[in-house]
């Protein structure tokens, strides 16, 4: 048996008999890593960065996707993980943990794809540890993921194409997740039997994190066509130094405004939402969410069978591999890209930057991350394929 010592092994925090070089689950879909997002206050520029280690595939990969002036700039890098397992570096992309659970810096040096940056995410409120997701399928663990989110400010600079942008107190979100996921480690095996009793379609999915005046708002829900909510999780977290305890809402009612095509038919892109959250004491908080940026398609970062070989993230592609391109964005769901490999899914899955406004106090406003997609049957839409 061959294992390595890592820098983490110096810490007295082991939870298994081996070293940190080996994870306790042998799934090729096990990964551990980061997701960073940030957007200009007016939505004119956004950046999305992924950085993940796949211990069982001996792979580390990363992506940077930036949207500005009607274009989405993509670059994807991948390398063999070991023996440099302690180095959070992949090609020109590096991650520095300046202060755990508070400050992280990402640097992208010179490369062939016209994306360079030096950005620091500083949490303004404590991170929120989301509910652990465990899915058992036919007697095996299909998914098992933990993740925490933190919202705050982003500062630094970035160059996208021929444009250099000063980043000063932008809102930003970062996510650290680990475990067995659905969009990691290459395609799922076709040898595994399907679920004999699949769950009901999720309908609309909404996942949001907003940096408000004195607090962070987080919510996610799935709303099937039959009504109600099959998933609902929220958290209101106050800034460091604020003695108010974190809290959660108990219920939500929502209404979504959808974009339309040339014929006036709705398309799967949310322009905004009105939400009414119920507090534990029965009072209501009402918010308006408005998309302010162009949609960003994460297939450009390797999701949804991304990468030029169509195998997605977490796949061994050699000692060091890199690729990228620029996509032209047109309207709510128009993407024109040179390689002919981008597939616009029926659910038009994308991320956007948005503004959130307290409808009972319009001065209480902020910006953050909006994900709102139709993943199953829903009034006004056909079933996504």
Of the candidates 360, 379, 199, 170, the one whose C-alpha atom is nearest the C-alpha of residue 284 is 360
Given the structure tokens 């994460």, which residue do they identify? 298
Q: What is the DSSP string of 75-99?
A: EEEEEE-SS-TT--EETTEEEEEEE
Which ranges of the chain have pLDDT less than 50?
Answer: 385
Cis preceding linkage at 64, omega within 30: no
C-alpha radius of gyration, the chain, whole number: 21
Q: Say how far residue 332 (Cα) sits from the centre of its chain.
A: 20
pLDDT in tens, 134-184: 988 888 888 899 999 999 999 999 999 999 999 999 999 999 999 998 788
Q: Say how far residue 322 (Cα) sits from the centre of its chain.
A: 21
Extract the tokens encoding 302.
């390797």
Cβ atoms of 24 and 17 closer than 8 Å: no
Cβ atoms of 50 and 74 closer than 8 Å: no
Distance, CA of 52 to CA of 333 (rounded, Å): 28
Q: What is the DSSP string of 151-169?
A: EEEEEEEEEETTEEEEEEE
In the 8-state DSSP scheme, what is residue 283? -
Please give the biggest Cα pair distance in the chain: 63
pLDDT for the residue 384: 54
* Residue 349 DSSP SS3: coil
Cis preceding linkage at 217, omega within 30: no
Q: Which helix (H) or strand (E) holds 231?
A: strand 231-238
Q: How many other C-beta atoms are found inside a 10 Å radius of the C-beta of residue 302?
A: 27
Beta strands 115-123 and 140-160, pairing class: antiparallel
Extract the tokens encoding 215.
């607090």
Extract the tokens encoding 181.
């996921």
pLDDT for the residue 172: 98
On the CB side of 248, CA atoms within 13 Å amount to 12
Distance, CA of 344 to CA of 335 (rounded, Å): 8
First-residue to last-residue Cα distance in the chain: 45
- How far is residue 287 from each of residues 173, 254, 277, 351, 361, measured CA to CA in Å? 19, 10, 8, 19, 9
Helices (H), 30-127: none
Distance, CA of 257 to CA of 244 (rounded, Å): 33
Phi, psi of 298 (to 5 degrees): -75, 0
Phi, psi of 9 (to 5 degrees): -70, -15
pLDDT in tens, 233-268: 999 999 999 999 999 999 999 999 988 877 888 888
Distance, CA of 148 to CA of 176 (rounded, Å): 6
Q: How many other C-beta atoms are found inside a 10 Å radius of the C-beta of residue 315?
A: 21
The pTM of this model reads: 0.94
Cβ atoms of 219 and 206 closer than 8 Å: yes
């Amino acid at each position: 048996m061959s294992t390595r010592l890592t820098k983490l092994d110096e810490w007295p925090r082991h939870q298994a008999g081996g070293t940190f070089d080996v994870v306790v689950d042998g799934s090729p879909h096990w990964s551990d890593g980061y997701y960073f997002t940030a957007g200009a206050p007016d939505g004119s520029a956004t950046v999305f960065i992924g950085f993940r280690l796949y211990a069982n595939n001996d792979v580390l990969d990363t992506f940077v996707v930036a949207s500005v002036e009607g274009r989405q700039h993509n670059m994807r890098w991948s390398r063999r993980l070991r023996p440099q397992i302690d180095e959070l570096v992949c090609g020109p992309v590096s991650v520095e943990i300046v202060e755990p659970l508070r400050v992280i810096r990402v640097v992208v040096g010179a490369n062939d794809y016209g994306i360079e940056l030096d950005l620091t995410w500083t949490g303004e409120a404590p991170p929120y540890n989301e509910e652990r997701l465990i899915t058992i399928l036919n007697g095996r663990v299909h998914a098992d993921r933990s993740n925490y989110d933190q919202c705050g400010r982003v500062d630094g600079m970035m160059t996208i194409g021929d444009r250099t942008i000063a980043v000063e107190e932008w809102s930003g979100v970062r996510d650290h997740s680990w475990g067995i996921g659905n969009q990691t480690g290459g395609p799922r095996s076709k040898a595994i039997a399907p679920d004999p009793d699949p769950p009901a379609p999720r309908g609309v999915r909404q996942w949001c994190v907003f940096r408000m005046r004195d607090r962070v708002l987080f919510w996610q829900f799935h709303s099937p066509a039959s009504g109600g909510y099959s998933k609902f999780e929220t958290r209101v977290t106050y800034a460091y130094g604020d003695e108010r305890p974190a809290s959660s809402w108990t219920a939500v009612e929502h209404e979504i405004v959808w974009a339309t095509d040339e014929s006036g038919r709705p398309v799967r892109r949310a322009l905004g939402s009105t939400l009414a959250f119920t507090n534990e004491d029965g009072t209501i908080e009402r918010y308006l969410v408005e998309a302010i940026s162009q949609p960003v398609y994460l297939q450009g970062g390797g999701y949804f069978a991304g990468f030029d070989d169509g195998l997605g993230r977490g796949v061994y592609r050699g000692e060091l591999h890199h690729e990228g391109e620029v996509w032209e964005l047109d309207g709510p769901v128009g993407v024109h890209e040179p390689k002919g490999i981008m597939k616009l899914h029926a659910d038009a899955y994308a991320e956007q930057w948005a503004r959130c406004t307290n409808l009972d106090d319009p001065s209480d406003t902020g910006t953050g991350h909006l994900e709102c997609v139709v993943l199953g049957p829903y009034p006004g839409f056909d079933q996504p394929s």
